[in-house]
Amino acid sequence: MFGNWLKTGLLMAAIVALFGAVGMLIGGKSGMLLALVLAGGMNLWAYWFSDRMVLRMYNAREVDAASAPRFHRLVQDLAGRAGLPMPRVYIIDEAQPNAFATGRDPEHAAVAATTGIIRLLSEAELRGVMAHELAHVKHRDTLISTISATVAGAISAIAQFGLFFGGGNRDGERNAHPAVALLIMILAPLAAMLIQFAISRSREYGADRGGAEICGDPAALAAALEKMERYVHGLPLGPTEQHPETAQMMIINPLSGGGLSGLFSTHPSTEERIARLRAMASRIA
């Protein structure tokens, strides 16, 4: 566990350093310092407000025991089994079957599922999916994922700013070659996405294992992932297309329908995840 946190901390530091490097290209030392201060401020802002921002991005609506009794009761039961406070529960009106968790800590957590996943899965399978999301909450993955998504999105924005308005050293020092600066500004968002991939991968395996333990049915979670993998290819998730930096938050890659985004998935292989879960099921059978 400590090794996982250490690796994640180093990767988060790499994202912040990348943010500073782009600032250096745009404004020299002063630009780098400004970018690092901005990154620190954004991390603080993300700590307090990123969950609300993401839920707004997805037009998620909060539900309770009166408006969505079966789904709310399912989450409540799983939260009790996990020893967690009851999270806020949201539904997203999208056909693609997917779900995510967010929030800075278990006391301020929220879980969200699309209408597509609620319709597609059996109750046992849906329990497996929501248990996975609650495992993210229990492991405190949600804060890391939302902060990395926020800063990675900012790297893309500042790099685009540099491309459109140019950059340069304002401190009287020798500027980087324009072609090198241009290349870095193009590659910086890609590098940020690859760092997100590294952060997300091991945490998805951990949430699969933790979710299977919470719901007590690894085979049901494996079956859910198998169904979702079949359907996700033909059903785009609009908010993720507009904000691809949030794709890592989902239980299954919402951008896996093809194109370049599929080459840089923030998720490990679904087939490998299913195989691990089925092996886990066979051990406890």
Q: For residues 127 and 134, what is the distance between their CA atoms, to the nearest angstrom?
A: 10
CB 63 within 8 A of CB 112: no
Which residue among the candidates 94, 133, 204, 229 is catalytic per the annotation? 133
Q: At a CB cut-off of 8 Å and minimum separation 6, what does 263 contact?
A: none
What six digits make up the tokens of 210?
């933790």
Q: For residues 241 and 235, what is the distance between their CA atoms, to the nearest angstrom?
A: 11
The full DSSP string for 175-190 is: PPPHHHHHHHHHHHHH
Q: At a CB cut-off of 8 Å and minimum separation 6, what does 65 contact?
A: 72, 73, 76
Q: For residues 154 and 156, what is the distance between their CA atoms, to the nearest angstrom?
A: 5
The full DSSP string for 200-237 is: HHHHHHHHHHHHHHHHT-HHHHHHHHHHHHHHHTTS--
Q: How many residues does the chain have?
A: 285
Task: For residue 94, indicate whether it is catalytic.
Answer: no
Catalytic residues: 133
